Structures are given as C-alpha cells and as structure tokens.
C-alpha cells in the first residue's frame, strides 16, 4: 500500500526467472506507455520480462536485467524517451537494483521508473528559446569568431604600421581571407586633387577594368565610392543587379559591370577628417546583419584611425625631410654639437666645403678632437674647428652672433668666417647641444682689403699729378705776377698741366667706368667700323710716346679684298688698345721693342671669322701664378716697382669691354722677358653691317 503512494514507479522481480512479482500504479503507467495493449493494465504481473517486453526492446533490457541479477551491480538509465504512435513522447529514467537474502544471495530485482517528461520538455524549451538549433549555433559562433579575428588582425596590423601602403595591404588581405569578397578596395582621400586615390585592391578573379576605373575617383564622379566623401554612414546595396535592373543603379558602375550582387562602401572618417573609403563587393546579395558586412564596417573605424595616424606621421616625416633638405642645401655651414660629449651629430655639405673637410668626416667626431695634421700647413695638433669656446658658451645658454673666425683648411687655405653659436634645448628646456652656423666671408674680406688698398693707392695716384699741376701753375703765376712773358719753359709748364690734367681725367673716367659696371649702367654705342682704321689712329696717337721704344707694326695674313669690319664702340675699343699700349710702355725698359699686330682668323672654309690684335713687349713680364689675377679689379702684380703709377683697374676694364663685344682676351708672359696681350673681335660681313643701328650718343 505504501508503494502505491510513492511518486515513483516501483516493480519487484524474481531474480532467477525475471518474473514481475508486483508493481505500483505509477510503474504500470510507465509500462503501459510501451507494452502491447493486451499486456497493459497490470496484465504483465506474474509473467517474465521475456514474455511482455516488446520485441524491439527485449534484448538490451534483458542484458541489463541479467547483469544486475548475476553481479549485483545496480543500473541507472539515461534519459529514456518513449515514442508511441498516437501518444506524446514521454521521457523516463529508470533504475534496477539487486535485493539479497540473509545469506547475501540475490533473490529479487527492484526496478524504479521516474517520469521526467516535464523536466526534459522544460529544458528543451528553454534551450530552444535561448539557443538556435545546434548547427546554426555553431555557425553563429564561428561567424562571430571570424569577425573578431578579422577585426583583431586589421586592428593589430594597422596599429603596427605607419606605412599607408602596408596598412591597405594587410587589412584587405585579412578581409579577403575571411570572407572571399569579389573585390575589396581601400581609397585614400587627397585634399589637393579633391579625389580618392586607389591605395590597394584585392579581388578574386580578374578585375583589371575595375582597377583602372577606381584608380583615381574625383569627389564629383558618379561612381558610388565618390559618395563616401559626403556621407558618414556605410552605403549598402543589398542586391546590385536588381537595383541595376530597376534602373536605380547605372550599368556603368564598376560593381554592376563586375557582376557583383552585394556591395558595401564604408566612408572612412577620423574625427572630422575624411580619410577615404573601404569598399567590398560580393558574389551573393547581402544584408546589414551579415557577418562580412558588420566586420567590414567595424574594420573601417580601425583603418580610418590608422590612415589618419599614417598621414600625420608622413606629414611630420615629410616636414623633417624638408627641413633636413633645407639645412643640407643652405650655403651657410651648419653643425650640431651634442652636449654630452661634444660629438658633431650633424654637419651640412656647406660646412664641409668651407672647412675643406668632407662633411661625412666631420659627423661622429668630437669637436675638440678635430685637430690639424697637415704637412702642407705645417700645423700639428691645433684644433681645426675654431668654435671650442663659443660652443662651451652656447652649451651654458649663451647666444653668440657675428663672431669672426679663421679656419685653416688642410690644403693651407685660410678661410675667414662669420659665425654664430646658440644652445639647443629639448622639450623640457634642457640644453642638449649647440648649433654653429658659419659663412665663408673670405671674398668679402679680400674685397674689403682691395678697397682699402685702392683708397691708399688712389690717394697717392691722384695726389701726384695734382702736385705737379699745382707746381707748374705756381711757376706760371709767378712769371705773370713778375710781368714776365711766356717763354719756352712756360710752354712746357702749360703742356705738363694739360698732360697731367688729362691723366687725372682718365683716372677719374676709369673709376666712373667701374661704378657704371657695378650699377649695370655700362652701355656701348655699337656701330660697324674698320678695325684697321681704328688701330692706325691709336698708333698715330702714340707715335710721340713711343719715341723711346723700338716700335713695330705687324699686319699678318691680310688679303687685298678682306673686309675687316667689326661692330664695336670705337671709343671703347680705342680705350682698350690705348690701355694695352700704355701698359707695354709703362712696364718695359726704354729702348726695348714693342710690337702691335693684327691678323684675321679664318674658318676652315677660308671665310673670315674674327680679327686678332696683339700687343707685345719685352718688359718685366708677369709671374705664372699671377697671370689669372691681373684682370681682377685693383690687382697689381707683385713684381712692380710701386713708383709706376696705376690703380689696377685698366685690365679689368679691358676685359669687361672685350667680353661685351663678344670677344676674348688672353695673355702670354714670361717674367723678366716680356708679355703679349691678345684680343679677338668677331668680324661681320656686309649683310648684317647694314642692319646695325647706332644707339644714342653717350651721356
Ligand atoms: P695698372 O697698370 O694701373 O696697375 P692694369 O689693370 O692695367 O693696372 O694692370 C694690372 C696689373 O697687370 C699691373 O699692375 C701689372 O702688374 C700687370 N701688367 C699689366 N700689363 C703688363 C705688362 N705689359 N707687363 C707686365 N705687367 C703688366
């Protein structure tokens, strides 16, 4: 009776025959769910399991019964589902236990059965509500995992790279590997050209047309990607071909042409800056919930940030390169010296050039260790870089500017420099080094020197004729006040006054010419002239002054019908020839020979090309090393007797005038034996002669 009220089914069996001895009502309910109808309702009691158990079930159940009966090992079933046509599926759990007598022999078997249908159904319902069917759940998990993987790969790769190109490549390769889109591309915005430039493209199959079309997309283009510029939300086209069929999408869109179905374009914005666009097209249509679409949108945020960083990084790098280029190319020498150990960490090319030391040899060495070891200069161990003390002052925070220093190059050349030094600080305002900027002022220095020399020569040169003019004038005054008539001596005095005045005028004219050249106001009055006639006139003027020289006039290779016309300013060419003749007389002994010559220079065809005029003397000559210098302003050679008057500007003017006539000047000289100055002037035929215009007269 007690068993009847138990909430579980209970049945007792004979352990030997497996006969069902008794069972409570609940157990019968359990049996009724699977027994044949004639065994239901308690009919099985008194019969063996083999008899009433349905055929399909009997053998595995018997095996369990036999084992427990023989071994005494209890049995507990799993969730046991019982399907019966016309009935709801029920779920049971049952157990089997051996019952022993006083001697320990197994005499009975006790079976229990528990209806767990409710619990199982509740669990299943909860599972169903909570989860998708198993295979779908699996897919969702995988999809989620894939999505996270791709985002992680993209985020990592773009974080690690500041190289715009590699950001594009890694990001797209990860997307391609995960979702096999038909085409995926990144476009970078270019503010200058108001267009998107294709950064990278990954595709399956051949999409060359798309690549060409997407290479450069102006913001005003009709391509979908161009819309990214004016939009913040992703552009999704779920079914491209349907849109095209409905006429809402042009057949000319690359995505339509490529036969893609789904398309997503993610505008890449970082804060308020448009960085570009990330686009993908798929072989099948898409929805906003697709893992691929969600992932690509999520990747867009990372790519936009990475592009912004790369852009900033690149602009900083460009700025640095530009600055470096500017420093490299500055004509001033620049050196950076580190505070820690005085190492030169940077030197530009100009620094190396000014110091006569390749700049690469300067970098990496310590400033104070850079010493002279030159057999040329004979200097040994002295510092080659004269900024030791100014750098120490700069490192203690001082700015030193406009300092004049001298460096001696390894070849012995002295270089005058104007330099400034200043401290270099880091962001925390700690002095980490010093910068030295210097320029080569040797040329200015020598010009200054020349000007000083010129002033002292000029004052002397001008005083000499003035003194003699004053002297002769006083003689004449005296004679006149004493009522004397002008005699031969008076005439000589007047001649001397006239000559010295002319000499003064010439000197002043030469100086004015220099000023005209410097102010680009030196003008020529060009006209065709017969050079032979000009030369003859100059020689004629010099007949008197040549008295004390043996004079020779050589005309070389002139044919009877040669026209020796050149276009020149006659006054200036007269000045050139006079200057050369003057020098020949001035720098040679009385009685020596002076030759003036002229010869035409012909082309290989025999046609006249130019005329060469030379002035040869047997004077003091010029040392080889000074030959290139004598045409410089104010230069006078070192072998001169300084009592010989002169400013050192005659040959400078000669060269200027000849060059302005498209001619040349050169000199051959042996010191102590004499010099020959050659000038050439181009000859002209009768044609161009007639077209020459004569400029207005000189002021
Ligand atoms: P200046 O004769 O007034 O010194 P120039 O410019 O005419 O100036 O000549 C420059 C220098 O060239 C001269 O000082 C002299 O040293 C050298 N020189 C010029 N002509 C001759 C010459 N015929 N023989 C030797 N030295 C010359």
Cα atoms found within 13 Å of the Cα of residue 591, Cβ hemisphere only: 0
370-412: per-residue pLDDT in tens?
766 666 555 566 667 888 888 989 999 999 999 999 888 888 8
> 348: pLDDT confidence band, cut at 50, 70 and 90?
very high
Ligand 1: centre distance to CA 525 (Å): 27
The SS3 call for residue 689 is helix
Q: Which of 360, 355, 490, 512 is nearest to 436 (CA)?
A: 355
Cα atoms found within 13 Å of the Cα of residue 498, Cβ hemisphere only: 6
Ligand 1: centre distance to CA 636 (Å): 6
> What is the token pair recorded at 643?
């009592």
Please check the confidence at residue 696 and state whether its pLDDT lies above 60.
Answer: no
Please report the pLDDT score of residue 571 as a whole number.
94
- 619 CB near ligand 1 (under 6 Å): yes
Please report the pLDDT score of residue 1 as a whole number.
46
Q: Which of 108, 111, 103 is nearest to 16 (CA)?
A: 108
Calculate the average pLDDT of the chain. 86
Look up the pTM and report it. Answer: 0.47
Report the alpha-carbon distance of residue 647 to residue 510 in Å, rounded: 9
Q: Whose Cα sits closest to atom 16 in ligand 1?
A: 637
Do the beta carbons of residue 638 and residue 626 sit within 8 Å? yes
- Residue 54, Cβ neighbours under 10 Å: how many? 11
The SS3 call for residue 107 is strand
In sequence order, the 6+-apart residues with CB closer than 8 A to the CB of 303 are 154, 158, 167, 171, 186, 268, 275, 278
What percent of the chain lies above the pLDDT cut of 70?
91
- 617 CB near ligand 1 (under 6 Å): yes
Ligand 1: centre distance to CA 665 (Å): 14
Q: List strand residue ranges (DSSP E) for 42-177, in order.
A: 75-76, 80-82, 90-100, 106-115
Mutate-to-test residue for ligand 1 from 513, 593, 624, 630, highest number of ligand atoms within 8 A of CB: 630
- 587 CB near ligand 1 (under 6 Å): yes
> 440: pLDDT confidence band, cut at 50, 70 and 90?
very high
Q: Specify which residues 186 forms β-bridges with.
A: 200, 278
Do the beta carbons of residue 586 and residue 644 sit within 8 Å? yes
305-322: per-residue pLDDT in tens?
888 888 888 888 888 888
> 343: pLDDT confidence band, cut at 50, 70 and 90?
very high
Please report the pLDDT score of residue 319 as a whole number.
87
Please report the pLDDT score of residue 241 as a whole number.
92
Please give the number of the atom of ligand 1 that sits closest to the Cα of 651: 6
Q: Which of 63, 76, 73 is nearest to 106 (CA)?
A: 73
> What is the token pair recorded at 36?
């044949």
- Cα 198 to its chain centre, rounded Å, is 21
- 583 CB near ligand 1 (under 6 Å): yes
- 637 CB near ligand 1 (under 6 Å): yes
Please report the pLDDT score of residue 413 as a whole number.
86
Do the beta carbons of residue 434 and residue 337 sit within 8 Å? yes
The mean-pLDDT minimum among 150-154, 197-201, 215-219, 646-650 falls in 150-154
Ligand 1: centre distance to CA 371 (Å): 41
Of residues 539 and 560, the one with the higher pLDDT is 539
Element spanning 650, H or E: helix 650-660
Report the alpha-carbon distance of residue 508 to residue 510 in Å, rounded: 5
Mutate-to-test residue for ligand 1 from 453, 507, 650, highest number of ligand atoms within 8 A of CB: 650
Do the beta carbons of residue 511 and residue 455 sit within 8 Å? no
Report the alpha-carbon distance of residue 263 to residue 285 in Å, rounded: 8
> 87: pLDDT confidence band, cut at 50, 70 and 90?
low
**266 burial class (0-12, 13-18, 19+ CB within 10 angstroms)?**
buried
Mutate-to-test residue for ligand 1 from 583, 627, 637, highest number of ligand atoms within 8 A of CB: 583
Please report the pLDDT score of residue 85 as a whole number.
63
Report the alpha-carbon distance of residue 37 to residue 40 in Å, rounded: 5
Please check the confidence at residue 693 and state whether its pLDDT lies above 50.
Answer: no
- Cα 55 to its chain centre, rounded Å, is 89
Please give the number of the atom of ligand 1 that sits closest to the Cα of 648: 8
Ligand 1: centre distance to CA 414 (Å): 26
Please check the confidence at residue 429 and state whether its pLDDT lies above 80.
Answer: yes
- 650 CB near ligand 1 (under 6 Å): yes
442-483: per-residue pLDDT in tens?
989 888 887 787 787 777 888 888 988 999 999 888 888 888
Most confident of 437-446, 489-498, 650-659: 650-659
Please report the pLDDT score of residue 530 as a whole number.
94
Q: Whose Cα sits closest to atom 2 in ligand 1?
A: 646
Mutate-to-test residue for ligand 1 from 453, 637, 658, 673, highest number of ligand atoms within 8 A of CB: 637
């Amino acid at each position: 009776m007690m068993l009847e009220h138990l909430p579980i089914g209970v049945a007792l069996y004979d352990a030997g025959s497996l006969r069902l001895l008794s069972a409570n009502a609940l157990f019968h309910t359990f049996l009724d769910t699977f027994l044949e109808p004639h065994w239901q309702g308690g009919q099985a009691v008194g019969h063996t399991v083999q008899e009433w158990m349905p055929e399909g079930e009997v053998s595995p159940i018997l095996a369990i019964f036999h084992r427990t009966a023989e071994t005494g090992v209890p049995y507990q079933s799993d969730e046991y589902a019982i399907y019966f046509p016309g009935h709801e599926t029920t779920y049971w759990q049952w157990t089997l236990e051996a019952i022993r007598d006083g001697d320990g022999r197994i005499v009975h078997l006790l079976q229990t059965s528990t209806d767990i249908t409710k619990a199982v159904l509740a669990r299943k319902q909860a599972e169903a509500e909570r989860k998708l069917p198993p295979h779908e759940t699996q897919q969702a998990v995988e999809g989620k995992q894939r999505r996270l993987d791709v985002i992680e790969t993209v985020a990592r790769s773009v974080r690690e790279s500041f190289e715009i190109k590699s950001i594009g490549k890694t990001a797209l390769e990860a997307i391609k590997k995960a979702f096999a889109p038909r085409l995926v591309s990144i476009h970078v915005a270019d503010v200058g050209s108001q267009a998107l430039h294709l950064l990278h493209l990954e595709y399956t199959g051949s999409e060359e047309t798309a690549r060409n079309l997407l290479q450069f997309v102006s913001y005003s283009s009709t391509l979908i990607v161009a819309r990214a510029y004016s939009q913040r939300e992703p552009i999704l086209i779920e079914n491209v071909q349907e849109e095209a069929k409905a006429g809402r999408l042009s057949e000319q869109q690359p995505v339509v042409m490529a036969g893609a179905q789904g398309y997503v374009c993610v505008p890449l914005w970082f804060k308020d800056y448009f960085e570009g666009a990330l686009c993908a097209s798929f072989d099948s249509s898409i929805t906003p919930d697709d893992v691929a679409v969600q992932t690509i949108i999520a990747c867009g945020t990372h790519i936009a940030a990475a592009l912004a960083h790369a852009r900033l990084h690149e602009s900083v790098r460009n700025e640095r390169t530009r600055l470096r280029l500017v420093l490299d190319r500055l004509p001033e020498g620049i050196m950076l010296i580190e505070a820690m150990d005085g190492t030169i960490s940077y030197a530009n090319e100009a620094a190396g050039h000014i110091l006569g030391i390749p700049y690469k040899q300067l970098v990496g060495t310590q400033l104070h260790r850079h010493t002279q070891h030159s057999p040329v200069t004979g200097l040994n161990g002295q510092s080659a870089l004269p900024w030791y003390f100014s750098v120490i002052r700069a490192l203690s925070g001082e700015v030193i500017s406009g300092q004049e220093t001298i460096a001696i190059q390894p070849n012995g050349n002295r270089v005058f420099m104007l330099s400034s030094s200043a401290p270099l600080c880091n962001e925390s305002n700690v002095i980490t080094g010093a910068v030295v900027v210097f320029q080569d002022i040797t040329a200015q220095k020598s010009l200054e020197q020349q000007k000083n020399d010129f002033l002292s020569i000029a004052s002397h040169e001008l005083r000499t004729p003035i003194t003699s003019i004053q002297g002769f004038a006083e003689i004449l005054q005296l004679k006149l006040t004493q009522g004397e008539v002008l005699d031969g001596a008076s005439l000589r005095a007047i001649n001397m006054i006239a000559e010295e005045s002319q000499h003064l005028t010439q000197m002043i004219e030469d100086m004015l010419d220099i000023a005209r050249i410097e102010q680009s106001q030196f003008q020529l009055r060009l006209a065709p002239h017969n050079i032979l006639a000009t030369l003859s006139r100059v020689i004629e003027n010099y007949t008197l002054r040549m008295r004390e020289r043996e004079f020779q006039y050589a005309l070389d290779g002139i044919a009877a019908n040669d026209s020796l016309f050149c276009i020149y300013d006659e006054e200036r060419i007269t000045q050139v020839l006079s200057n050369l003749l003057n020098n020949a007389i001035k720098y040679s002994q009385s009685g020596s020979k002076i030759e003036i010559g002229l010869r035409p220079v012909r082309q290989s065809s025999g046609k006249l090309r130019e005329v060469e005029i030379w002035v040869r003397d047997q004077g003091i000559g010029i040392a080889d090393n000074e030959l290139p210098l004598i045409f410089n302003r104010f230069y006078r050679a070192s072998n001169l007797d300084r009592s010989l008057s002169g400013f050192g500007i005659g040959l400078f003017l000669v060269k200027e005038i000849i060059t302005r006539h498209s001619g040349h000047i050169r000199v051959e000289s042996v010191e102590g034996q004499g010099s020959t100055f050659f000038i050439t002037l181009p000859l002209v035929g009768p044609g161009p002669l007639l077209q020459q215009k004569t400029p207005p007269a000189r002021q």
